[in-house]
Amino acid sequence: MGQLFGTDGVRGVAGRELTAGLAMALAAAAANVLGASQPAHGTAGSRQRPFAVVGRDPRASGEFLEAAVVAGLAASGVDVVRLGVIPTPAVAHLTAALGAEFGVMLSASHNPAPDNGIKFFARGGVKLPDAVEDEIEARLAGRNGQVLEGGRLLSEGLGRAAMASQDLVSQGPAGVPAAGFGRVTDAPGQGERYIAHLLSTVESRPGAPGEPLAGLRVVVDCAHGAASRYAPDLLRRAGAEVIAIGADPDGLNINAGCGSTSLQALSAAVAAASADAGIAHDGDADRCLAVDAAGRVVDGDQILAVLAIALKAEGRLAGDTVVATVMSNLGFRHAMRAAGIEVVQTPVGDRNLIAAMLDGKFVLGGEQSGHIIMLDHATTGDGMLTGLHLLAEVARQHRPLADLVSVMTRYPQVLINVPGVDKALVMSAPSLTDAVARAEAELGDTGRVLVRPSGTEPAVRVMVEAQDAGQAERLATRLADAIEELG
């Protein structure tokens, strides 16, 4: 990937790195790349132009960034269906369901309110391959007269690109597109199509009643984000008694002391309501974490274990295999082995999970952070879908959530981030190799060591798992000290 696109779209501080000018120029570049495949006769009856769906989370900067993106698309001859505030996975689903050439989501996910981001989905609601992101960057760079090398944007990150994009805005439109300017339609009601789709995935399951969550009392924390309007409604319509928290977005409070990055409020609310479980989403609802009736955290590995075992029991776990990243807990791997389920391991990042799932024709994968991908029902991680299926298992089996997740013993895991180091030098140092080998020898089969360079910053990350938390802390600190000495 180039310098604009990160692991999940283009992100930055809104108004500083991610400006209206950059958003408009990036949208125009994306229109030229992603809309180019639209046949002239129009696949949807009389449609002559490509069209895109655009959604956003409720952060305040999304309003001006949405306007900029829509302007860039319409000026480039793309019809726009504006979905309003809606979860990221809903944009992915509706891109496919409405037959759009591509989808755009404005969100910085779990980041604080000052940040924002632009994510693109290709036809069918799938994330863009690296080569397509590079092509968009190259198109953006070419329109701004910057130097290209190997199709990559040579700039000093988002700030430089933001300044360069102002040139494009000041030049005005390049002309009238051959098929005319795009038209803009507001369609906030399309969220109902998404909710109906989610409900259909559990109502059709073997043994599921008409209200698959009937009898459950649930707290859902919407992170004052895109799920605020949708998640409580989804769970109520599935039959649960629902208490919603973090569901009053004001544009500035997204992810602030709530949601999947801060579970204390959810744990307290579950206890206060004597609820059966709690579900937590992040700002754009592509993640799901949970807490049990006692307020104990249930992470993405535990959720993945429950779903994998349930799918295997129903004969619907393709290849009796689940896909997880290198950061998945050792306890997850042991639980899967005990259940007769193979684990395919990938680098960190949901795009790596999806690639491995598509390659192996697997249907379930996920990350410890709560990105769970159920390819039978979605093209990307979907927090609301995940929460719905997790709770449906609780109701179907008539067992507490704590009982379900007891299939997995979570090993103590210590993570240390060592910043400001030369990643290439550190990772090639024989002394670090020796230090890792000594730690692995001490742990034997009772733990695991992972040292990896960060993909987003000049840092090396150390992870040690062990049955004993003190041992994990001691070994992780020793490795972090060795990395700091190497510099």
Concatenating the DSSP letter of every residue in 241-257 gives EEEEES----SS-TTSS
Task: Determine the CATH number of domain 193-405.
Answer: 3.40.120.10
pTM listed for this prediction: 0.88
b/e sequence 241-272, b meaning 16+ C-beta within 10 Å: bbbbbbbebeeebbbbebbbbbbebbbebbee
> Are the C-beta atoms of residues 293 and 400 closer than 8 Å to each other?
yes
Rg (CA), the chain: 23
Taking CA atoms, 388 is separated from 58, 91, 292, in Å, by 23, 18, 15
Cβ–Cβ under 8 Å, residues 280 and 260 = yes
Give the separation between CA 14 and CA 30, rounded to whole angstroms: 19
What values do phi and psi take at 346, rounded to 5?
-130, 165
Q: What is the pLDDT of residue 37?
A: 60
The angle that helices 383-397 and 191-203 make with each other, rounded to 10 degrees, is 30
User: What is the pLDDT at residue 42?
Assistant: 42
Superfamily of 10-186 according to CATH: Alpha-D-Glucose-1,6-Bisphosphate, subunit A, domain 3 (3.40.120.10)
- Range(s) within the chain of domains with CATH label 3.40.120.10: 10-186, 193-405
Specify the pLDDT at position 99: 96
Q: Which of 107, 109, 165, 267 is catalytic?
A: 109
CA distances from 245 to 155, 221, 228, 278, 280 (A): 42, 5, 9, 10, 10
Phi-psi group of 191: left, alpha or beta (phi > 0 → left; psi -120 to 50 → alpha; rest → beta): alpha
Given this model, what pLDDT does residue 350 score?
83
Concatenated DSSP letters of 171-240: H---S--TT----EEE-GGGHHHHHHHHHHHHHTSTT--SSTTTT-EEEEE-TTTTTTTTHHHHHHHTT-
Reply yes or no on whether 274 is catalytic. Answer: no
| Separation between Cα atoms, residue 257 and residue 92, nearest integer Å | 27
Domain 413-486 has CATH 3.30.310.50: yes
Question: What phi, psi does 327 have (nearest 5°)?
Answer: -90, -5
Our measurement of the distance from residue 72's CA atom to the centroid of its chain's CA atoms, rounded to an integer in Å, reads 25
User: Dmax of the chain from CA atoms?
Assistant: 69
Averaged pLDDT in 10-residue chunks for the chain of 487 residues: 76 94 96 75 61 98 98 97 98 97 97 96 94 92 49 42 45 70 95 97 70 96 98 97 98 97 97 98 97 97 98 97 94 96 92 94 96 96 98 96 96 92 91 94 91 82 93 95 89
* Domain(s) of CATH 3.30.310.50: residues in the chain: 413-486
Beta bridge partners of 28: none
Looking at residue 204, what is its pLDDT? Answer: 60
As given in the structure block, the two tokens for residue 12 are 């930055």
